[in-house]
Amino acid sequence: MAKRRLVLTFPPEVVERPVVATLVKEFDVLTNILRAQVHEGEIGRMLVELEAEPENIKAAIRYLQEIRVVVEDAIKDIELNEESCIDCGACTAVCVPRALNISPPEWKLELNKERCILCGFCVDACPLRIISVRF
């Protein structure tokens, strides 16, 4: 089994289609919705984690692209300016999935993009404003 964390951008005409149900039923892909901004008649965005055999995930992504859903790897949507970071730890306190961590012996901030759900709480928590999140 493989896992992919993706940001899906839906054109307005696709927002109302049962896309997630299709991924599960037609492609046997477990689809975990981590975040969603979906409104009738508008462009929608969804952060999802897909879990399935690699070939099923590939087929599901092909299907999404065929119906004009833009599929992007989620790790591209959070950026941290590591050179400016002072390792104060303020951002780690608001990061529920523990994507941001500071631990001994280095006490240096580490960002695990695979765990990030793009909630954006760390953006405001950082006194230096050196984290950016796009969702």
Q: Which residues contribute to the site for ligand SF4 (CB under 6 A)?
A: 78, 85-91, 94-95, 97, 99-100, 109, 116-122, 125-126, 128, 130-131, 133
As measured in angstroms, the least distance from the Cβ of 34 to ligand SF4 is 9
> What is the distance between the alpha carbons of residues 74 and 93, in angstroms, rounded to a whole number?
22
As measured in angstroms, the least distance from the Cβ of 79 to ligand SF4 is 11
Q: How buried is 100 (Cβ within 10 angstroms: 0-12 exposed, 13-18 middle, 19+ buried)?
A: buried
Q: Which is nearer to ligand SF4, 5 or 60 (CB)?
A: 5
As measured in angstroms, the least distance from the Cβ of 101 to ligand SF4 is 10
Q: Which is nearer to ligand SF4, 63 or 135 (CB)?
A: 135
> What is the distance between the alpha carbons of residues 61 and 129, in angstroms, rounded to a whole number?
34
Q: How buried is 99 (Cβ within 10 angstroms: 0-12 exposed, 13-18 middle, 19+ buried)?
A: buried
Q: Which is nearer to ligand SF4, 26 or 87 (CB)?
A: 87
As measured in angstroms, the least distance from the Cβ of 99 to ligand SF4 is 4
- DSSP-assigned letters across all residues of 39-82: -TTS-EEEEEEEEE-HHHHHHHHHHHHHTT-EEEEGGGGEEE-G
Q: Which is nearer to ligand SF4, 52 or 125 (CB)?
A: 125
